[in-house]
Amino acid sequence: MLRVGVIGTGMIGEDHVRRLTSTLSGCRVSAVTDVDAERARAVADVAPGARVHDSGEDLVRDGEVDAVVVASWGATHEQYVLACLAAGKPVFCEKPLAPSAKECLRIVEAEAAIGRRMVQVGFMRRYDTAFAQLKRAVDAGTIGAPLLVHCAHRNASVPGHFVADMAITDSAVHEFDIVRWLLDDEIVAVRVLKPRANGHGRDVQDPLLILLETAGGVLIDVETSVNIQYGYDIRAEVVGESGTVELPQAGNVVVRQSGGVTALIAMDWRDRFRQAYDVELQAWVDAAAKGGATGPTSWDGYVATTISEAAVWSMGTGSRVPIKLEDRPVLYAVS
Ligand SMILES: NC(=O)c1ccc[n+]([C@@H]2O[C@H](COP(=O)([O-])OP(=O)(O)OC[C@H]3O[C@@H](n4cnc5c(N)ncnc54)[C@H](O)[C@@H]3O)[C@@H](O)[C@H]2O)c1
Ligand SMILES: O[C@H]1[C@H](O)[C@@H](O)[C@H](O)[C@@H](O)[C@H]1O
């Protein structure tokens, strides 16, 4: 039984504590912590026997914690992931791995020095049934070589602390990861365009249109909308040489009523990606129980954050920004 410590018991931290306690197998939550101690105590109540620690560092040191989930704010991820690596404990870190490429690189270097995978990054879309179907269709080659990808990432609304950059660093970072995975290709440049602003957006520039170029010559457009009101809507369509393939709309029940047809839509990410979170965390539990990690790597986290940094720069300057990556350590060599 893997004993898991959870750092950060906010929205997704609480969700993960619940699934580790009640949905997944081979694990239990033995400790939690949050800078909001009251919140940590409330969440500990859903995990029988879980201790509440004063700090993330204390939790990592706890002899009854075999592996750690980091679900605190992005700016705190690096310190906890590095503490886990130093303690030899496998760690699942929510996206973004860290807010800057420099911080991500320090994690990559620390893991590469150990010489084996210890970190899994929370890019859960790779475990989503709908995205898996999309990838299978692209890989099967029936639409020919991919030429274009159209993506939309729409949030009904976002919390009050959401600032302009977060449409990129918090939201579009998922697309930066998923298109690399979907196309087996690297992003080489990014440009961000700003249309007329949505009046629901307060001070946040919304929406954005992000244009990505890949090494293989594919062009990708990503719409981010963070105040779209009607629901949480994630879309992707790949245009190939002889056809197109589109992300199925996961779990949308179709209702026929009063002379109309309505397809219900999720209102937030918890709803839309529930299955993906369950599968990604079970995969991590299984790998962590053997002392390692699987799925999205620290390197994937570093690449996604590097693209985010370039996109934020482009949003400010309007320029096309090339993506420059450091050399990939052999630990993350593509097989
Ligand atoms: N994969 C996904 O789809 C997904 C979904 C939501 C959030 N996230 C990521 O998860 C992280 C948390 O997001 P959230 O929406 O749950 O935010 P949140 O604000 O609801 O929760 C974050 C929690 O971390 C706590 N915290 C902050 N600093 C801390 C520290 N130094 N030590 C311990 N606890 C600390 C806060 O008090 C808060 O309770 C972010 O990195 C976010 O991008 C990922
Ligand atoms: O933190 C959340 C989360 O990562 C969701 O998966 C994403 O769709 C949202 O845009 C973001 O704000």
Taking only the tens place, the pLDDT of each residue in 90-117 is 999 999 999 999 999 999 999 999 999 9
The list of the chain residues with pLDDT below 70 reads 335
Q: Ligand 2, closest atom to CA 171?
A: 10
pLDDT at residue 113 in the model: 98
The reported pLDDT for the residue numbered 264 is 87
- The strand pairing partners of 187, in sequence order, are 214
How high is the pLDDT of residue 219?
98
- Ligand of minimum distance to the alpha carbon of 155: 2
Judged by its nearest atom, the ligand closest to the C-alpha of residue 274 is 1
**3-class secondary-structure state, position 204:** coil
- pLDDT tens-digit map of 49-69: 999 999 999 999 999 999 999
- Residues 65, 17: Cα–Cα separation, whole Å: 14
pLDDT confidence of residue 335:
56
Nearest ligand 2 atom, CA 95: 4
Contact 47, 32 (CB under 8 A): yes
Q: Give the mutation target among 124, 155, 168 for probing the ligand 2 site: most ligand atoms within 8 A of CB.
A: 155
Alpha helices in 190-297 (DSSP H): 269-272, 274-289
Ligand 2, atom 5: nearest CA belongs to which residue? 269
| Domains of the chain and any CATH numbers | 2-124+274-296 (3.40.50.720), 126-268+303-332 (3.30.360.10)
| 204 Cβ contact list (under 8 Å, min separation 6) | 158, 162, 163, 164, 167, 226, 227
**Measured distance CA(252)–CA(248) in Å, rounded:** 9
**pLDDT reported for residue 102:** 98
From the list 128, 218, 222, 227, the residue with the least C-alpha distance to 168 is: 222
CB atoms within 10 A of CB 147: 15
Tell which atom from ligand 2 comes closest to the C-alpha of 166.
12
